[in-house]
Structure 1
Amino acid sequence: MDSLQSLVALVSIHLLVLLSDLQFTSSNKTATTFSLKLIHRDSPESPIYPGPMTFRERVERYRKISDSRVSRWNQINMHNRAVQPNIMRPRVTTDDGYTYLVELEMGDPLKTVYVVMDTGSGITWIQCLPCQECSPQKFEIYDPRNSKTFKKIPCNSPICYSFKCVDQQCMYSLDYLDGDSTEGYAASETIHIKDEQGLYTHIADVFFGCSIKTHIDTADNSSLETGIMGLDTNPLSFISQLGSFVLRRFSYCLVNPTNSSTPLFSYLKFGDDIGFIGGAVQKTPFTKHPDFPNGYFVNLLDISVDNKRLNFPPDTFTFKPDTGEGGFLIDSGTVLTYIQDTAYSKLEEEIVRYFSPYKDLVRNQDCSPPSKLCYDAPMGFPLFPTITYHFQGANLTIAPENSFEVDYEEKSFILSIAPQPRLSILGAYQQHNIRSIFDIDSNVFAFVPDDCSKDD
């Protein structure tokens, strides 16, 4: 195991040295700051807009996707299986997945592609022509043969240490735990970033996977995206490649897709422009999880409901080497928030106690899985509690609208938190209207309440 860790460390050093030579050219003096449009897949601005949906349709779909992703997180247990470097984290989507798409311009001439933002993945990849086995796509597949700046990674490149050389070509291959896979050329391309004045920053030689064999198992046999933008701390991730150019820092502010009165897009921001409007920024350090070394974990100490501390034992959410359980993950690709079973029971008990004085509420035993707590309620019931996560050195208070999904037509509501046995995860629904800042060099997760509909 020590020799394997030494090899991984050596490869990482080679990659970081290589990627430090990325070429940046700009007509903008503030090139270390840029933003990419972040579009919810259900937005009318999305290239895969599904059309209007009812509240129930959204709830059913988001829960199905969320539970599917979490079940695959739980399959990863490095303590109980051999190390397999090409086995990746769960995809951000399955079926009609819950996704935030990043609008990205690349190549010469410029082409627009849409990739899924995923803080739980490392490698960025897109589908490329000519395909051998490409998944159906609802917009044009990228054709590198038309780009003057496309390059295949040579077999003697340090990047290829992580992959394999086939017929003198560096080929990457990623297998996801749900059976999906992507395979193709290890390549590089120029990325183009346009600012508000229309000036471009050109980032040459950004590594990505050019997929010519893609298997994505979807309900309607149609793919939702061209690929994935990996934003974890893997040396080959998008944020790691940009490195000191953007201070290894990015942020996002997720709009609420169920609120049709607000814009369903915001921005993925890099570098100095972390984008919050105001308020006191809080910070908590990242912690390491041995099963997910590139994931964004923080130290959760306790939880409050309506300002009442639940007083969990100090080690409730910490990683436990003997069982492989524990850890609190910040994840943009999971919809719901998940709390470990034993802690969830206490949380649910306190929420039920909070609602007990209101006799016009009726607990419904037929909740949409994986949720366990839902109520029938009179029209306009307004009395929902806040939920606060007490991290090391910081407190994240979740507004009621981000913890309870209210169906005004059916006069009911449902808790956007569910139990599960292994990891605790802060999902996207509870991150709405919170500026989330990932500062890798400072090793901190920072956050502040924000109005994501005014993000610019």
Structure 2
Amino acid sequence: MAQMIHGFIILFALSPLAIALTMNPTFAEQPGKGEGEGEGLTLELIHRYSVHSPLYSPNLTTAEKIKQLVKISDRRSFEIGLSLANRSRVMGVRPVVASEKWVYMVKLGIGTPPTFTNLDFDTGTSFSWTQCAPCGQHFVQTPPLYWATRSSTYHALPCDHPLCAGLPCIRNQCRYVLTYMDAAKTKGYLVADRFTFASNLGNRSEAVDDVVFGCSKESSPDMYPHGTAVSGIIGMGTHARSFLMQLGGRAKGRFSYCLVPLEHIGHSYLRFGIDIEHIRHAQTTPLLSYHNHSHYLLEVKDLSVNGRLLHLPSDTFKINPDGTGGCLVDTGSWINFMVENALDALIRSLEEHFQRHNLRKAEDPNPTKLRLCYKIPRGFSSYPAIRFHLRGAVLRPKPKNFFYVDEEEGRICLAIKEAQHTIIGAFLQQNHRMVFDVRKHQLTFAEENCARD
């Protein structure tokens, strides 16, 4: 069993990028690295507004946090939509995060001796990168820059390396260029070096050798216009370049997390391989693949409210040929999104529920533009039970987790917005153990008190 590790990471909203790459097959695992080690690995996930985050501010109100998280979620949803719609195999690296739009992050050291930095945690991409020194133009970051050539464990990736397949090669170095939706760019070359994660057991640490990632030598300064606590991204997608797949036998294609509620001071953890504990009363549903995308897609059969199925058409949540539709589970979006016909049917059922409790509709006064809001009396607790009926499983989030509750104003708003696809965001995943197994193509989950993780 690996030691418990403390760290930072976040996902949450990368713009789709246009890169001339040939993607490795979906669910392709890098052979050999860590194979047979079976040690597992545990890292700490830090929410951007956690007391453990460098962005923590005790003066920031809950309403202000929610406004920013909804803004991040809107951007994330839009970029995921573009990513799914553009399914060309030459659009290889598709991070879905930019402009200080992360939700969770991980802290790690890169190289020997380690340069400690923070990276976005993104399950929607398989490409990891960090800014490297010396560099040309770049965005301002609070962690120190990583100097590859000052690390005794660094080496450049030769063009015949399997993870260089499809990338341009200049002077026997594997190059990349990532172009984002907002025209921001980052470019550099692939390198391999040691990743070190601090342990909570004394002064010990845990290392993963020869991790392949992008060493960015030039980045758009306006990618993070006000500076940032992160220096890049760590990708947890399904392709061979992702950190997950590079762990090989150490992860066995499996990772899990259990997200504590935003207001809780406890830690959320990201676990790999045998560090994933057995969970009781677990349910399992298939993970779907769509062309060359790294997103974790689910098959949703129907929704229900208070035990009554909505009887939505069977194709409601299917991915359409143009890339619209589908349902994915994502930590880079805080709130949730849903296709129009499903959201309309859900709102009609919720209106009936709240009418029975004599609640009066209200407008969302914030720029978040949430569709369904009500004034509530102090101590209101009659929230409807909303369920996602998946293939072979039923996801039962806490009823209150579907709503943004403003106690001071006495108002609740449904935390689901309309989109061309459905996203089960981090808010709904709170207090659920989520276990992703890309070898078996399945998601296993169960309700859990994540503060006890």
Shared fold (TM-score, shorter chain, > 0.5): yes
Separation in structure 2 between the aligned mates of residue 94 and residue 349 of structure 1, nearest angstrom: 36
> Using a 3 Å threshold, how does the CA distance of structure 1 residues 282 and 82 change in structure 2: closer, same or farther?
closer
Aligned 8 A contact 2:104 2:120 in 1: yes
TM-score (normalizing by structure 2): 0.88
SS at match of 2:78: helix
Partner of 1:361: 360
Does residue 335 of the first structure (1) align with residue 334 of the second (2)? yes
Q: Structure 1 residue 38: deviation in Å?
A: 0.8
Q: Which letter maps to 2:320?
A: K
Matches within 5 A, 1:43-442: 43-76=50-83, 78=85, 83-86=89-92, 88-91=94-97, 93-95=98-100, 97-193=101-197, 197=201, 200-215=205-220, 217=222, 221-257=226-262, 259=263, 262-275=264-277, 279-290=280-291, 293-321=293-321, 323-364=322-363, 366=365, 368-420=367-419, 422-442=420-440
Structure with higher RCO (Cα < 8 A, 6+ apart): 2
Aligned 8 A contact 1:319 1:327 in 2: yes
Q: Which letter maps to 2:442?
A: V
Aligned 8 A contact 2:433 2:448 in 1: yes
SS at match of 1:136: coil
Partner of 2:8: none
SS at match of 1:74: helix
Q: Structure 1 residue 115: deviation in Å?
A: 0.9
> Using a 3 Å threshold, how does the CA distance of structure 1 residues 61 and 197 change in structure 2: closer, same or farther?
closer
Separation in structure 1 between the aligned mates of residue 325 and residue 392 of structure 2, nearest angstrom: 19
> Using a 3 Å threshold, how does the CA distance of structure 1 residues 212 and 51 change in structure 2: closer, same or farther?
farther
Separation in structure 2 between the aligned mates of residue 442 and residue 87 of structure 1, nearest angstrom: 23
Runs of 4+ in 1 over 6 A off after TM superposition: none
Q: Which letter maps to 2:382?
A: L
Aligned 8 A contact 1:300 1:389 in 2: yes
> Using a 3 Å threshold, how does the CA distance of structure 1 residues 351 and 78 change in structure 2: closer, same or farther?
closer
Separation in structure 1 between the aligned mates of residue 55 and residue 214 of structure 2, nearest angstrom: 22
- Which runs of no fewer than 5 residues in structure 2 stay unpaired? 1-20
Q: Which letter maps to 1:102?
A: V
Partner of 1:3: none
Separation in structure 2 between the aligned mates of residue 220 and residue 209 of structure 1, nearest angstrom: 21
SS at match of 1:173: strand
Aligned 8 A contact 2:108 2:198 in 1: no
Root-mean-square deviation (Å): 2.5
Aligned 8 A contact 1:250 1:268 in 2: yes
- Which runs of no fewer than 5 residues in structure 1 stay unpaired? 1-6
Number of residue equivalences? 431
SS at match of 2:71: helix
Aligned 8 A contact 2:305 2:349 in 1: yes
TM-score (normalizing by structure 1): 0.87
Separation in structure 1 between the aligned mates of residue 400 and residue 367 of structure 2, nearest angstrom: 18
Separation in structure 2 between the aligned mates of residue 219 and residue 412 of structure 1, nearest angstrom: 33
2:48 to 34, 41, 44: 41
SS at match of 1:437: strand
> Using a 3 Å threshold, how does the CA distance of structure 1 residues 407 and 220 change in structure 2: closer, same or farther?
farther
Partner of 2:452: 454
Identity of aligned residues (%): 31
Aligned 8 A contact 2:115 2:145 in 1: no
SS at match of 2:82: coil
Separation in structure 1 between the aligned mates of residue 275 and residue 369 of structure 2, nearest angstrom: 37
